[in-house]
Structure 1
């Protein structure tokens, strides 16, 4: 077998079943295709991948190439469409098989189908994707996946799950003859037309992309700092790198195996005992899988305005208020601070995501799909299933029989940023405002707000009135 290993959202060597399938090959060519479509505008007027996501991707590709070099191989990165690049490489280097991992989103599945068609008689072999659970682990068929997470969890936990991820190999088959001549340096962000982002010391995710950084974080969080043992108590934090696991960016682009995370978690629990926090990390990882299997079952329905519920009541308007939300200029400090953190770093806390999404949907009455698309462009941990699944969930058109999941933004601010440290960090114009008013600058005179350069909130919702002067 002379094989091409097509990397996509699986930028690791650990627990990589397509890589394992290629170990017996006579020669193996690792390839990543950087598709320019990712940088073009989508139907919502946004890029599918913005500067922070691309930065993290390029870091991950550089790390993957380094890992391959240590095992006698290299990573060939080509710019183009996979349906053109991969068949061309197969023909040029006389390869007879393409190995890759399965995809779960409709666009990516369609891309694999196009590549398979372009390959003609050459086999395209797919291995299971970066799920926590394999299809054979599920106690139900794909068309019977529960609509509600609690039911999904109950059925899964009735079976004892044993996770045995495959270790990264020590050596890899040699490259095909002529492959070295095709190698080229990674493009820079500037060459891709994105510009170079500034480093932000206040970032809650100061880590770099790639498998070595992912495994280092896994070791630290579970074994050295053992931050996992306080996960349930700290996961709603907003400042600093230690308030949550921070695994999601590496999971999203496949630099970290979901099965490796849980295998290590079970090993940790065997040595230090299970507690509420280790159990909660398991639940969050199970949520990730729930959204992935839901996307596999429902496909493109998840990306429609009415979502899985096909509701007609979902707001469809998009106006100036969306632009103010996306730029962090709504006049609601907690929302604005989170949106500016996202733009500056590509990351935002889980609590922040729920607050800003609810605010866009319920307070501003904007089309939730535009918010999901904005997150897709900017989040370094963007994952189609989790991102669109969570947005649909909050919009009342996803996996939840309840509707109107409204987060009171001011109540959230009082509860999770009681001393206004978070809004002070990301909204420098409010630092000279008295601390007690940093969550409610709209109570100041309009002239004062204009002088500090912060927008005036148009209307104070009635639901905020109990929290205008309260401290949680």
Structure 2
């Protein structure tokens, strides 16, 4: 009688889950998630590796996963501890013959997987394709020969006809090992994990719940009900509300949603309603995500070093009080501060906002990009190692792209994407007494007025901002 342990990680779904499919052949199957307390501790660059927002989404996703498993005659065992210990103890206690799990690509996760494999000894650890879009066999060439530049990667991928047919969630699952029933326990709360409860923010651009059911509901809504996908290219640089972009990324990041399922549904939508620039652009964004994943597979830990993939000293290495002001949303530049406050309050900011605040930290404030990436790692709901560190390295000029400087003119960006200052007005209550036409440039006000508002004065205004200052 074969007993298998299914170790869930960033694949918190039953739909399109290769490790789960492999477990269906077992007589008994134990679905397990290990909450590793080390991920909630402070990392080498200062911030925690996982903060309150992503942990809240994780707990919601685990609750949803347990509910889906119960409907199919199973349950989810959640254990607080270190996987290399927890899994070995369960294997010995329950007589498990094999452990099934998702393959990893990031250095720390690979190291953890190796420790688990070593601790298991003779018990087999089987890995299955992970959370990406393209499997290795579907790539246009071996991973080590992939282009270093996204546009070339995209061209090669689009030369092939890719068909996505993800297997649906199974109707039933093998029963739990009998002895596992005594081990089941309720999920810990955020407070028990030492994180405290986040405030509910009505203005959040991601007010959705975690878990597979919520992810699939959003996929149906965006592609079929509202068909927001058909305007995606025009709205994706928005800053306010839930509909300017797909908002799939938090579910993709923890695996509540499969990228291959998104593509299968997108192709089905295009077959029914036709392809347009917007449906094509959603494919491009999913391809960017995969480009960063395969970049990480190829370069490994180099992506997390100061010199990035170019091993040069071009990126700034400084760290001073300006970094702390950036984190706190107190730089004196409202467009930056509004984005940083939204991130801290909700765990989410727009794609446009991410690029602008990252560029400002690296190029205007001359701070070490890795600390910005680590701050995002703690706070982002949709943190994913490949996309986060890949995007930061790209903006810092140490990624694989040939363009040296992705420098944004912050005031121009503010004027272009928040022309009526509605975004900064939402997140910067201290500016409500300032006339709307000055809300992007309060640093032009008298010092006493700024002091009365308790808003910091901008230390330095770049010359490039002058054309975008309000007319006298």
Identify the TM-score tier after normalising by the shorter chain.
Answer: over 0.9
- 2:44 aligns with 43
- 1:121 aligns with 122
Q: Deviations over 1:225-277 (max 9, x none)?
A: 00000000000000000000000000000000000000000000000000000
- 1:231 aligns with 232
- 2:34 aligns with 33
Q: How far 1:317 moved relative to its partner?
A: 0.8
- 1:406 aligns with 407
Q: Does 1:90 align with 2:102?
A: no
- 1:172 aligns with 173
Tell me the SS of whatever aligns to 2:322. helix
Tell me the SS of whatever aligns to 1:179. helix
Q: How far 1:24 moved relative to its partner?
A: 1.0
Q: How far 1:178 moved relative to its partner?
A: 1.1
- 2:211 aligns with 210
Q: Deviations over 1:23-65 (max 9, x none)?
A: 0100000000000110111111110001111111111111111
Q: How far 1:356 moved relative to its partner?
A: 0.2
Q: How far 1:404 moved relative to its partner?
A: 1.5
- 1:142 aligns with 143
State how far apart, in whole Å, the 2-side matches of 1:123 and 1:455 are: 58
- 2:22 aligns with 21
- 1:381 aligns with 382
Q: Does 1:67 align with 2:68?
A: yes
- 1:3 aligns with 4
Tell me the SS of whatever aligns to 1:335. helix
Q: How does 1:306-321 map to 2 (within 5 A)?
A: 306-321=307-322
State how far apart, in whole Å, the 2-side matches of 1:110 and 1:44 are: 19
State how far apart, in whole Å, the 1-side matches of 2:431 and 2:400 are: 38
Q: Does 1:53 align with 2:47?
A: no
Q: Does 1:251 align with 2:252?
A: yes
Q: How far 1:399 moved relative to its partner?
A: 2.1
Q: Deviations over 1:431-469 (max 9, x none)?
A: 111000000000000110110111100111101000011
- 1:282 aligns with 283
Tell me the SS of whatever aligns to 1:186. coil
Q: How far 1:215 moved relative to its partner?
A: 0.2
Q: How far 1:313 moved relative to its partner?
A: 1.8
State how far apart, in whole Å, the 2-side matches of 1:37 and 1:43 are: 12
- Flag structure 1 segments of 5+ consecutive residues without an equivalent: none
- 1:367 aligns with 368
Tell me the SS of whatever aligns to 2:100. strand
- Flag structure 2 segments of 5+ consecutive residues without an equivalent: none
Tell me the SS of whatever aligns to 1:29. strand
State how far apart, in whole Å, the 2-side matches of 1:264 and 1:124 are: 32
State how far apart, in whole Å, the 2-side matches of 1:37 and 1:404 are: 35
State how far apart, in whole Å, the 1-side matches of 2:319 and 2:208 are: 34
Q: How far 1:329 moved relative to its partner?
A: 0.2
Equivalent residues, number: 471
- 2:262 aligns with 261
Q: Does 1:423 align with 2:412?
A: no
State how far apart, in whole Å, the 1-side matches of 2:243 and 2:451 are: 36
- 1:358 aligns with 359
Q: How far 1:354 moved relative to its partner?
A: 0.3
Q: Deviations over 1:291-335 (max 9, x none)?
A: 000100100000000000111121111100000000000000000
- 1:103 aligns with 104
Please report the TM-score for the alignment, with normalisation by the length of structure 2: 0.99
- 2:160 aligns with 159
Instruction: Provide the aligned C-alpha RMSD in A.
Output: 0.8
State how far apart, in whole Å, the 2-side matches of 1:403 and 1:246 are: 29
- 1:337 aligns with 338
Tell me the SS of whatever aligns to 2:187. coil
State how far apart, in whole Å, the 1-side matches of 2:199 and 2:102 are: 34
Q: Deviations over 1:152-191 (max 9, x none)?
A: 0111111100000010001000000111110111110100
Q: How far 1:109 moved relative to its partner?
A: 0.7
**Structure 1 runs of 4+ with >2 Å offset:** none
State how far apart, in whole Å, the 2-side matches of 1:10 and 1:450 are: 49
Q: Does 1:201 align with 2:226?
A: no
State how far apart, in whole Å, the 1-side matches of 2:378 and 2:30 are: 30
State how far apart, in whole Å, the 2-side matches of 1:27 and 1:111 are: 25
